[in-house]
Chain A
Amino acid sequence: MVQQRRDPARPGVPRTYEDQERWKGGWVRRPDGRLVPRAGGRIKRLATIFANPVMPSIQDYYEPWTYDYETLTNAPLGDDFPVASPRSALTGKPMRVSWSANWDDDLGGGPELASQDPIVRRLGDKVKLSFEETFMFYLPRICEHCLNPTCVAACPSGALYKRVEDGIVLVDQDRCRGWRMCVTACPYKKIYFNHRTGKAEKCTFCYPRVEVGMPTICSETCVGRLRYLGVVLYDADRVGEAAAVEDERDLYEAQLDVFLDPADPAVRAAARRDGVPDRWVESADRSPILALAKRFRVALPLHPEFRTMPMVWYVPPLSPVVDALTRTGHDGEEADHLFGAIDALRIPIEYLAELFTAGDTAPVDLVLRRLAAMRSYMRRINLGQERDESIAEAVGMTGAEIEDMYRLLALARYDERYVVPTAFGVDEADKGVIEEVGCSLDFDGGPGMGGMGDVPFGEASGRPDAATVETFHALRDRQTSEGGPEGSATDGRVNLLNWDGNGRPGGLFPPRRGGGTDDGGGRGADPGPPEGGRP
């Protein structure tokens, strides 16, 4: 159904990840109005810390594989040219590939798989699984960088944190002890366990780029130009209350209420008092996210019912309707016809509501009507006809607003789509000054786009490069100098939790007399960042 397995670097997500009865992610509201992680509060977590019963196994993602590429060059002369066949990355043995990161891509796997989608199961017959009646759309997913993250609450080591200055949720690689409670707690299953490093990893929102005012890699490289980035100011004191509203269908509105209007003088005064730089407030004022979510109300949160207050929002799609209308002899682009057809869209509005509004169809209906109105309104302009305000009024907007929305959705240039202020400690003059860094999961030995070349397990532990707002200048110096992250503060330290027993990592034994270092051959475990990432 919905193709939501997109992630630039990761082994998909466990099948049926949205089914929290099974995976126990997110929060539940207790009768007394308090929120507890669905997987259980502190005591339950402690009791199950060594054997978490709802941990997705690697088979729930997929068994990683590689190919016996050597055959291609080493095979003896034969009648047929050689091919590389699949080998399990876990065992090295020949394997039959039976699941992968995007197995059901483009409705692959047929009705049998599609009917396992938790939302399809809930909606039953409303979702058609036959040719020319079916539908699909892509839902690119990254970490939601939630306002009320369950992963942060669930970490027994306090390694997960949400940065106060920009809201990015990160794993402190030094503190992480690999308990993996965050993997269970995240209802979006966007925290992953790196079996090589023994640490949790997640999308870092490309913070080294964001800090210098550059958009994330996934946004910048989006060919469809469909990703937008911007600042949203919110009232941190009201998040807990908003996430605990009784009816889960009120969560969408409650989250919108927490967002602050940067044009409001009271908000500006409070921001100044709290030391928020003026350029952040100005940035929030131009934020495409705030515009899409709150001004035009066409962006919706993904699964608000998980109660984590997710911060990656989506504009739900209009599905093919114009052709169907035209076939029935109507003008498919005419506003009234389009509005009338919204209930009959191929993607059932209930399906979208299950994704974005905890099942409440009214907000989705409004979004689709607004998108349809924009189409109709702009078409008249395109055809040189008079502007028709009544189209805008029918969806509670003005013509000028529709044109603004059109500009943002259809024309917006680079600096309108990505309104990213530089971080607190970074001068505006530093904007864009950074060595290009790839996706955060793309370090040596990491499972990112460039790192899957060899088996993601074994001796060479990954060494994530550290870069934080506090160390921006240090980072830049390092990037422009010869040395790597080694040779810094952590030299001579070894984290035994990461050591897999092979070889002798540098620092396991004190240096030999005479100043020479241990040359034991084991690259073993070099602990993570030289600087912690805590604010």
Chain B
Amino acid sequence: MILALSGTSNGRLAAQGFERLAARTGTDMDELIHHAEGRRVVFDDARHGPTPVGSSPEWSGKEAADRRYSPFTINVEHDKPWHTLTGRQHFYLDHDWMHEFGEALPVYRPPLDMGRLFGEPRIGPTGQREVVVRYLTPHSKWSIHSEYQDNLLMQTLSRGGPTIWMSVADAEAIEAADNDWVEAVNRNGVVAARLVVSHRMPTGTVYMHHAQERTIDVPKTETTGRRGGIHNSLTRLLVKPTHLIGGYAQFTYAFNYLGPTGNQRDEVTVVRKRTTEVRY
């Protein structure tokens, strides 16, 4: 079913799509149409072994026997305009609101000081050593969100539970060592995790990989006495006006394709070493 609906496996669809694309762009797609015609990958092929698929207009790269997929090769080689106002790849966002916010070109914006700007309560010092760090939540290497994350084999690859990655200098600052329990606390919540100290981390930034489930090895926190949270316990969505631009060239929303970037990952947190016994 899927194989019949995708242009990559159903050449007739791909050819039709490229014909339509050629009509819209007025450029030469004959090679792609020609290659697509007659291609058909069926379930039996997939059962037999890995089967190469072909180019299709829903993707931006070309596939052929003498090359590997690389994004945007259809744009480059067949003059298909990019889905932007100018039809080119560009960083410059020509929209009044973006100009007003001074963000027509990519700029660095430090995390907001929520306490000063919005009167959010500050995390007061507890007398313990602590570091204030940027808190990033990248996708993990071995899992897709929580999928594959919490089975025993995956857990035995590392610390057997949720971890936060920290630089050597930050760990020294809170007198914590690799595999120690730490707590990350900010205005949004509390996370209890083990520390992975690594010299691949820059000082001042910690990672907590995406979607480490709360069902395994998450103790009660020292800070609240309640169960610790997950990576998103420390984040919060903030909508800013530029997110609301829509219906304007590349600002037009398309599912899983174009949309405003999230800024909830731009968080700051306090990290402290846990001093009391771990309780579940």
Known: A83-B217, A86-B161, A113-B178. A220 touches B50 (CB 8 A): yes
The CA-CA distance from A85 to B217 in the complex, in Å, is 5
Indicate whether B240 reaches chain A with its CB closer than 8 angstroms.
no
Task: Say which residue of A65, A105, A132, A449 sits within 8 Å of B158 (CB atoms).
Answer: A105
The residue on A at minimum CB distance from B67 is: A411
The CA-CA distance from A83 to B165 in the complex, in Å, is 22
* Given A83-B227, A100-B160; 14 other pairs, CB 8 A cutoff: A62-B156, A80-B226, A83-B280, A85-B280, A97-B159, A97-B160, A106-B141, A106-B198, A108-B197, A111-B199, A131-B199, A131-B203, A411-B66, A432-B49
Nearest Cβ distance between residue B209 and chain A, in whole angstroms?
A: 10
Indicate whether A426 reaches chain B with its CB closer than 8 angstroms.
no
Is the CB–CB distance between B197 and A410 below 8 Å?
no
Indicate whether A344 reaches chain B with its CB closer than 8 angstroms.
no
Classify the secondary structure of B's interface with A: loop
Nearest Cβ distance between residue B212 and chain A, in whole angstroms?
A: 12
Known: A83-B217, A131-B201. A453 touches B152 (CB 8 A): yes
Q: Which of B67, B157, B219 has the most CB of A within 10 A?
A: B157
Indicate whether B48 reaches chain A with its CB closer than 8 angstroms.
yes
Indicate whether B220 reaches chain A with its CB closer than 8 angstroms.
yes
Nearest Cβ distance between residue B79 and chain A, in whole angstroms?
A: 16
The CA-CA distance from A128 to B139 in the complex, in Å, is 27
Nearest Cβ distance between residue A451 and chain B, in whole angstroms?
A: 10
Q: Could you write out 9 A-B pairs with CB less than 8 Å apart?
A: A80-B220, A83-B214, A86-B161, A86-B217, A100-B159, A106-B200, A110-B198, A112-B178, A414-B50
Is the CB–CB distance between B158 and A100 below 8 Å?
yes
Indicate whether B196 reaches chain A with its CB closer than 8 angstroms.
yes
The residue on B at minimum CB distance from A110 is: B197
Q: Which of B199-245 contact A (CB under 8 A)?
A: 199-203, 214-220, 226-227
The CA-CA distance from A410 to B65 in the complex, in Å, is 12
The CA-CA distance from A62 to B171 in the complex, in Å, is 25
Is the CB–CB distance between A84 and B153 below 8 Å?
no
The residue on B at minimum CB distance from A111 is: B199
Indicate whether A103 reaches chain B with its CB closer than 8 angstroms.
yes
Is the CB–CB distance between A111 and B160 below 8 Å?
no
Known: A84-B217, A414-B50. A130 touches B161 (CB 8 A): no
Indicate whether A114 reaches chain B with its CB closer than 8 angstroms.
yes
Is the CB–CB distance between A100 and B227 below 8 Å?
no
Chain A 70-108 interface mask (CB, 8 Å, partner B; 1/0): 001000000111011110000000000110111101111
The CA-CA distance from A136 to B178 in the complex, in Å, is 18
List of B residues within 8 angstroms of A105 by Cβ = 157-158
Task: Say which residue of A79, A83, A98, A113 sits within 8 Å of B216 (CB atoms).
Answer: A83
Closest 3 CB pairs of A and B: A97-B160, A80-B227, A102-B157
The residue on B at minimum CB distance from A128 is: B199
The CA-CA distance from A508 to B178 in the complex, in Å, is 51
Indicate whether A64 reaches chain B with its CB closer than 8 angstroms.
yes
Known: A79-B226, A97-B159, A110-B168. A129 touches B68 (CB 8 A): no
Q: Which of B69-99 contact A (CB under 8 A)?
A: none
Chain A 34-45 interface mask (CB, 8 Å, partner B; 1/0): 000000000000
Is the CB–CB distance between A129 and B199 below 8 Å?
yes
Nearest Cβ distance between residue B183 and chain A, in whole angstroms?
A: 15
Is the CB–CB distance between A136 and B200 below 8 Å?
yes
Is the CB–CB distance between A452 and B67 below 8 Å?
no
Chain A residues packing against B (C-beta within 8 Å): 11, 62, 64-67, 72, 79-81, 83-86, 97-98, 100-103, 105-114, 129-132, 134, 136, 220, 410-411, 413-414, 432, 449, 452-453
Chain B 157-193 interface mask (CB, 8 Å, partner A; 1/0): 1111100010110010000001100000000000000
Indicate whether B38 reaches chain A with its CB closer than 8 angstroms.
no
Total A-B Cβ pairs within 8 A: 110
The residue on A at minimum CB distance from B197 is: A110
Interface size on B, residues (CB 8 A): 42
Is the CB–CB distance between A100 and B198 below 8 Å?
no
Known: A105-B158, A110-B168. A84 touches B216 (CB 8 A): yes
List of A residues within 8 angstroms of B217 by Cβ = 67, 83-86, 97
Task: Say which residue of A72, A84, A100, A136 sits within 8 Å of B156 (CB atoms).
Answer: A100
The CA-CA distance from A220 to B67 in the complex, in Å, is 20
Indicate whether B52 reaches chain A with its CB closer than 8 angstroms.
yes
List of B residues within 8 angstroms of A131 by Cβ = 167, 199-203
The residue on A at minimum CB distance from B171 is: A110
The CA-CA distance from A98 to B160 in the complex, in Å, is 9
Is the CB–CB distance between B156 and A101 below 8 Å?
yes
The residue on B at minimum CB distance from A71 is: B280
Is the CB–CB distance between B48 and A432 below 8 Å?
yes
The residue on A at minimum CB distance from B220 is: A80
List of B residues within 8 angstroms of A130 by Cβ = 199
List of A residues within 8 angstroms of B160 by Cβ = 65, 86, 97, 100
Is the CB–CB distance between A452 and B153 below 8 Å?
yes
List of B residues within 8 angstroms of A452 by Cβ = 152-153, 156
The CA-CA distance from A98 to B156 in the complex, in Å, is 11
Nearest Cβ distance between residue A240 and chain B, in whole angstroms?
A: 39
The residue on A at minimum CB distance from B214 is: A83
List of B residues within 8 angstroms of A107 by Cβ = 198-200
The residue on B at minimum CB distance from A453 is: B152
The CA-CA distance from A110 to B200 in the complex, in Å, is 8
The CA-CA distance from A185 to B218 in the complex, in Å, is 41
List of A residues within 8 angstroms of B168 by Cβ = 110-111
List of B residues within 8 angstroms of A112 by Cβ = 178, 197
List of A residues within 8 angstroms of B214 by Cβ = 81, 83
The CA-CA distance from A414 to B45 in the complex, in Å, is 13
Nearest Cβ distance between residue A145 and chain B, in whole angstroms?
A: 24
Nearest Cβ distance between residue A309 and chain B, in whole angstroms?
A: 31
Q: Which of B141, B156, B168 has the most CB of A within 10 A?
A: B156
Is the CB–CB distance between B226 and A109 below 8 Å?
no
The CA-CA distance from A220 to B49 in the complex, in Å, is 9
Is the CB–CB distance between A66 and B152 below 8 Å?
yes
